[in-house]
Amino acid sequence: MKEVFDKIFEFIKQILINFGLEQNSAQRFEQWIKLIIIIVIVLAIAGILKLIFLFIKRELLSRFNFGENGSKHIEKIILRIIGIVVLSCTFQLLPLALVKGKLLTILLRTCIIFIIIFCINIINTLLVTAYEIINRRDKYRQQPIKGF
């Protein structure tokens, strides 16, 4: 896949040079084009995932009675999963756009930090959801959740 991207962007760079840009300017402009294409790809993936997960949410809500809070928690979990997928895609595609350097290192570390934050948020949301589901039953209302 990287070879295909390299051939496409080499072609774009040659077009830019033919238009009269210098080699360095064409290379910088090519990197910005790569970055824009990666952003568009990641946003398209996020949009497709939102549509898929909203369909799954609708199916889950039609089959099971989660209540009002349950549907909010499902939506939070879905959005955080989409966030992890989008950040993972960004993490994988950034090295294709940027030459190794400080900016690439900073962006990759930022992606890793946000992936960790999203994972912690998913765990928190799952625990809050489980607590609210268990708390609905009168039998468990006054008991602590020790084994959970």
User: How far is CA 130 from its chain centroid?
Assistant: 24
Helix segments in 19-142, DSSP class H: 23-63, 67-97, 102-136
Both tokens assigned to 108:
């990759």
| Residues 85, 45 contacting (CB under 8 angstroms) | yes
pTM over 0.75: no
| Look-up of token digits 């966030």 | 83
Residue 85, number of CB atoms within 10 A of its CB: 17
Both tokens assigned to 58:
């609708």
> At how many degrees (to 10) do helices 2-18 and 23-63 cross?
140
| Residues 16, 110 contacting (CB under 8 angstroms) | no
Average pLDDT over residues 26-32: 76
146: confidence class by pLDDT, cuts 50, 70, 90: low
Residue-wise pLDDT for 54-108, tens only, equals 888 777 777 776 666 667 777 777 777 787 888 787 777 777 777 777 877 888 8
